[in-house]
Chains A and B, each alone.
Chain A
């Protein structure tokens, strides 16, 4: 059963008295552990699709099922609870809470669930992303790459079924981007988390098993790249025209 099942998803905004359809009849399914890149030019509806998939917003038409739950009839709070259990997030601008330390930031999802051992798990995961010596640092004391690694630790700590990443490398330089991407795929691989990445980065998209191209709110192209073994294929993938 797919962890994310989207059917005929449509979102229409009214702006200045005119209806503007930013997403138009998108249908897709993401299996457990799969990696999906959503690419497309600015304004093609990528972020809107991500928001709808994660239950951050409600569609004008269509249906989203996340981890087997239909988001349609669920209340705000029920969707929040669902996210707390099954969803991880990585943002372009990291979105760490400035008043919490790296450790506390990473622990938030577990604490939200009221789970025990949140700090220990966070410390372990931060060690895993190479920040074992920076647990008590505040976001302002970390570099961009370090902040994004904390965000990744936070995203994976709850062992989510799906991880949504919105331009995860958009604010990072090339070298740092590469390390962050590696981490994303490693943890995806280990935890069996499905990865849905919105990106402009051709290289990052190329590492995903499937690339969905949006234009004007519609899916214009969809390619399977073979799920497993992306890492080995990376040099090849980067050479292909994918964006």
Chain B
């Protein structure tokens, strides 16, 4: 009983400040519990709603149309299993709203049959989904109708046909908001679709959806017909496959977010270790006295371990409660990316895991400094300078256990065995780099502050170096938070910069017309000119397939599991062009670009994009055989090009010289600069009316969409990074609180020596200002390095410094630090020196 009761009594005056410090972990636990709860609810929602999202039991589909053999297969499935079938063609096309004259590229879903079999299409009016097919009418996306001020009953023109809008699409089960943002949907009856939309060069898919009778499982049907599908190059999918795919993707997402939360928890752990370290120092005399009175080393260790365990539990419970609250917000934050409605039910497993992990992290981090208690010599009670001697293996053992624990957690989270060592190593390196950077910045500031600076500034700065300072741990926590937030900001700007439209660059295209048939090319060009707009760029596009590499057929390579080439590169439809020169967005890195060869050249010299060449494992001189409209074309790699894909330009994997493909079946793309939304809309309208198969993309609209999506992604990540920043601030508040003892002694001494309250306050301001500045500078410097590295090596785009972000960070972090620091020191300044001298400090 002695240990618990003394642990309880001994904690009396420390409880509040210990709790504050242990609260540093609360945010990490909160992040963990919130994300994990969300993940559990998400999985549950997927399980419940998967069929509704998929709409059927089984889907068989293909690029382009179904030929006779495909149809026979569909019929045999219907006959063999008594399945119900629905047909769908999806493509994209221009929609024109005749009432307002608005045009926009939309996703067409042309249906025949009772699809979706499960789930529903929500429309206004409700009945619209049931009747639009029979009446030959259309359903249009709500956002699209809003954009063009269209109402139910208005017309919409797709291709050469005009449909009455039977209803507004309010929600389609399984469609994410982000999808709707990119391509607003229009539902049409398949039988009333303009066949012109499915002509040469059109990209579309054809599907058959099946509803199977009770007792027949889609996966077994798929397994049975799989050989026939493969033989016919058809693809099949079932609801469980889709559920698995979504589950994997969303599982990855939540696990990643959990790891971000775990980083916040580790930061909190550092805060705990630092707090307990100070606490142990303050308790050294008490421990020595207890040892003199006969307490064993184990008893004293247990007293303080029990205290921290209880505080850790309280902190973790606080965090779990906070996490359950935060979880309410997550579906709102992540909702636009999700195919299902996610509930915010309270799930116990994540709460228990969060509390468990929280307590474990708190205890392990607390024990690192706590084991020193064992070695406080009783002699210290009569000799202040008595110190433990010799090497203590325990902190190292505990450190190893801690790292192993971190590795285990990362392994469980990521499911990747390498995480066992990679994540702890990464954490160590990150902390190490941050600690090193912090030391460096500290040393620099120390060197650079002039000796003649006002006293209060020198004193404030010196506080950062005094014995027992917590500068390093504060720089770690605040700095890492700053680092995470700033990196996100910098990377987002870097990604947006190259695609952002330069305001005053006359020559940049802002409108792209595509799917122009060969016989329409002249007329389209004339139309653009009629509108007083320039033809900035034109490119012919020739669809083709790769059939052999250096004489070995792609079929054979695909079957060879040791071949390095990815399947997509072997089977995709290539949309190649031919032209006489390179363009602005590409750069030849090897070989010579050949611009023109005679039409009958036996081996055509082509230029291949660098990454594709790597994927296909080909270099200069290697042979590629293509099938262009049924004809084999033999080519050799004459040059390699690096392509800046981020720029809005027609870019190509493979560029042919002029000559051999001039007469191949092809369609074209044309770019112009309208300069204003009105002129752009006028040209689009005219183009849709005269050339229904031609589509137009307003580049500024696309950029707006990309920016919107990136903003949302960044928001999610910043939301998680906030936990780290929050943890940094809580650790700061705790550090201020725990260092009060030293502060009070100092403040009293200074005031006894004649310092005014204002001066004492200014010293505090100086200290926290420096601390905040150091954290901000360290975080920004690391973020700049990380941002540059990501830009250079991952996104392969020039690094752009977002000065706004840097400036905001540089202002906000020190300001917050000063506010938190002063708030924690408030009572200290209010007390008269004599009063403080008399009182037991602490």
A residues adjacent to B (C-beta < 8 A):
47, 50-51, 54, 56-57, 76-77, 80-85, 87, 89, 91-92, 95, 97-100, 104, 108-109, 111-114, 138-140, 154, 166
Contact = CB atoms under 8 A, between A and B. Distances in A.
Given A97-B290, A99-B12, A100-B9, A84 B295 contact: yes
Given A80-B296, A84-B293, A99-B11, 9 more contacts: A77-B296, A80-B294, A84-B295, A87-B292, A89-B381, A98-B840, A112-B290, A112-B294, A166-B382
B586 to A, nearest CB: 72
A161 B286 CA distance: 23
Interface string B1-12: 110011001111
A111 B5 contact: yes
Nearest to B300: A80
Nearest to B298: A77
Contacts of A113: 294
A44 B840 CA distance: 33
Contact of A140 (B290, B295, B839): B839
Given A91-B381, A99-B13, A166-B382, A111 B6 contact: yes
A97 B294 contact: no
Contacts of A81: 294, 296
A112 B293 contact: yes
A110 to B, nearest CB: 10
Contacts of B6: 108, 111
B289 interface: yes
Contacts of A109: 293-294
B84 interface: no
10 contacts: A51-B383, A81-B294, A89-B381, A98-B286, A99-B12, A99-B286, A108-B6, A109-B293, A111-B6, A112-B295
A100 B294 CA distance: 17
B840 A83 contact: no
B15 to A, nearest CB: 10
B134 to A, nearest CB: 83
A76 B297 contact: yes
B285 interface: yes
B290 A108 contact: yes
A108 B290 CA distance: 8
Nearest to B286: A97
Interface of chain A, helix or strand or loop or mixed? helix
A95 B297 contact: no
B9 A95 contact: no
Contacts of B9: 99-100, 104
Contacts of B271: none
B289 A97 contact: yes
Task: Name the 9 nearest CB pairs between A and B, nearest first.
Answer: A84-B294, A140-B840, A83-B294, A56-B379, A77-B296, A56-B378, A99-B12, A95-B289, A80-B296
A195 to B, nearest CB: 16
A77 B294 CA distance: 8
B10 A97 contact: yes
A100 B10 contact: yes
B157 interface: no
A95 B381 contact: yes
B657 interface: no
B842 interface: yes
A114 B2 contact: yes
B743 interface: no
B382 A51 contact: yes
B371 to A, nearest CB: 14
A230 B421 CA distance: 72
Given A80-B297, A84-B293, A47 B383 contact: yes
A115 to B, nearest CB: 10
Contacts of A77: 296-298
Nearest to A166: B382
Interface string B605-629: 0000000000000000000000000
Nearest to A138: B840
B291 interface: yes
A95 B285 CA distance: 7
B312 interface: no
Contact of A108 (B12, B293, B377, B842): B293
A138 B12 CA distance: 11
A16 B397 CA distance: 31
Interface in B127-186: none
A82 B378 CA distance: 13
From B299, B377, B382, residue with most partner A Cβ within 10 Å: B382
B289 to A, nearest CB: 4
Given A104-B9, A111-B2, A140-B840, A51 B293 contact: no
Contacts of A56: 291-292, 377-379, 381-382
Contacts of A76: 296-297
A165 B185 CA distance: 90
B840 A139 contact: yes
A10 B297 CA distance: 26
Nearest to B14: A99
Interface in B827-842: 839-840, 842
